[in-house]
Amino acid sequence: MNVSFPSNRQELLDQQFQRLAKLVGRLENNAFWQPRLKSAEWTSDKILSTPPTAENLRALLDRLPIVRKAELVADQLQNPRYGTNLSFPLSDYARLHQTSGTTTGKPLRWLDTPESWAWIMSCWKQIYALMGLRATDRLIFPFSFGPFLGFWAGFEGAAQMGNLCLAAGGMSSEARLKLIDENQITILACTPTYALRLAEVARQQGIDLAKSSIRAILVAGEPGGNIPATRQLIETTWNARVFDHWGMTEVGPLAMETEHDPGSLSVLETECIVEILNPETHRAVAEGESGELVITNLGRVGSPLLRYATGDIVTPSWQSVEGDPPFVRLMGGIQGRTDDMWIIRGNNVFPSSLEEIIRSIPEVEEFQLRVHAHRQMQEVSIRIECRSGLSDAVCQNCAMRIRQQIKERHHFEATIELVEPGVLPRFEMKAKRIVTN
């Protein structure tokens, strides 16, 4: 893998100042950023003449307001169809992606120029280097390449590196398992949910995945990759290492679990500036405190984002791991999203913390969370589907254990409903396990 990383944080800072100055210089015609840059008094010259220290970067960033997704959505509504965050004429853009729109309802459209797309490819090359991709690895991407960005870019990145890549859209899970075996695929790229769904289908077909050719599973799109119980269930079933990945359609692919550091995400600070801010005070959090991940990407020049509040809650560490670049590490990956948080009987609860409990019971095949208001209070009920072939007593016992653990950790009583095998929906991309009514 021909990728070299900076060896210390000062080298990173030097690069970030240089790249930021260069980016700002190219936003002359970007109507979204121009007024913001002006009021922050950001110019290329000014950034370049600032000594590259962490304090100066902090001061520089503090002058620019934070941007949230709602602002971008509103901008696209007011300035159809692609909003004003365009650095170049529309004819310069070659790719159109959009977000799945599950959280806010409204999908966000995102355009890339060939240069921006090449930047995304360069991010993926670094990501593959961090996970220790080998030249002999063969990758399968079992999903239907829609308008989302995620693994689409991962597919092209791996193909550009010369690894054998197989796109497996529009096929049944059975056919995909056959392709994995026939082509002795070593890396599976999918959502955590779909890794478990493939395992369910394999079990039904009498296939032992622990003996398959898959050595690693690259997951993204859901928090599951770093929910310990979900992660362990996938790793045990497949007898393969899980690698979690993080990116967003609007910021690009920017974080990866490294070969040497299971259970964390390293952010590609070669390609972005990271802030982790207390959601209320907007002050940077210290090592080990949790806060919201805020990203300034440095190479997606066609539609860049500066100080973009991702909504993702993370806990940083700047202590580096032997063999890895000096990037900030998000301990335990993405812990939840600010807009996902429920307040149940006075406790802050993320769906991911409930998933951690449910997935620790290996008899559970699928589940669904339902939040509903009852006498002005939020309540949670959970539908549980156990694996087929288990007795009623076993299933009742699973439900009881889940109820108990939620009570112990989160201090509320969840209603648990057991449903028959095959009743709950299955997913090939991001799961929709949360129902509100």
**Positions in the binding site for a copy of itself (CB under 8 A):** 81, 91-96, 109, 111, 114, 117, 135-136, 138, 143-147, 152, 159-171, 179, 182-184, 428-429
By beta-carbon proximity to a copy of itself, the closer residue of 190 and 395 is 190
Closest separation in Å from C-beta 380 to a copy of itself:
30
Closest separation in Å from C-beta 421 to a copy of itself:
25
By beta-carbon proximity to a copy of itself, the closer residue of 95 and 370 is 95
CA distance 60 to 54: 10
Closest separation in Å from C-beta 279 to a copy of itself:
33
By beta-carbon proximity to a copy of itself, the closer residue of 98 and 397 is 98
- The pair phi, psi for residue 118, each rounded to 5°, is -65, -35
By beta-carbon proximity to a copy of itself, the closer residue of 198 and 268 is 198
DSSP 265: E
Closest separation in Å from C-beta 300 to a copy of itself:
16
Closest separation in Å from C-beta 218 to a copy of itself:
17
Closest separation in Å from C-beta 166 to a copy of itself:
5
By beta-carbon proximity to a copy of itself, the closer residue of 36 and 95 is 95
By beta-carbon proximity to a copy of itself, the closer residue of 163 and 212 is 163
Which amino acid is it at 183?
N
Instruction: Answer whether 304's CB lies under 8 Å from 239's CB.
Output: no
Closest separation in Å from C-beta 144 to a copy of itself:
3
Measure the CA angle with vertex 170, ends 167 and 176; round to 5°: 60
By beta-carbon proximity to a copy of itself, the closer residue of 248 and 398 is 248
Closest separation in Å from C-beta 124 to a copy of itself:
14
Instruction: Answer whether 139's CB lies under 8 Å from 166's CB.
Output: yes
Altogether, the residues listed in the chain come to a count of: 437
Say how many C-beta atoms besides its own lie within 10 A of residue 162's C-beta: 8
Q: 74: helix, coil or strand?
A: helix
Instruction: Answer whether 336's CB lies under 8 Å from 315's CB.
Output: no
Say how many C-beta atoms besides its own lie within 10 A of residue 420's C-beta: 10
- Which tokens hold the place of 203? 């079990």
- Which tokens hold the place of 58? 């902090």
418: enclosing H helix or E strand = strand 415-419
By beta-carbon proximity to a copy of itself, the closer residue of 21 and 86 is 86
- Which tokens hold the place of 155? 């597919």
Instruction: Answer whether 303's CB lies under 8 Å from 111's CB.
Output: yes
Q: Residue 358's closest CA among 425, 428, 409, 421?
A: 409
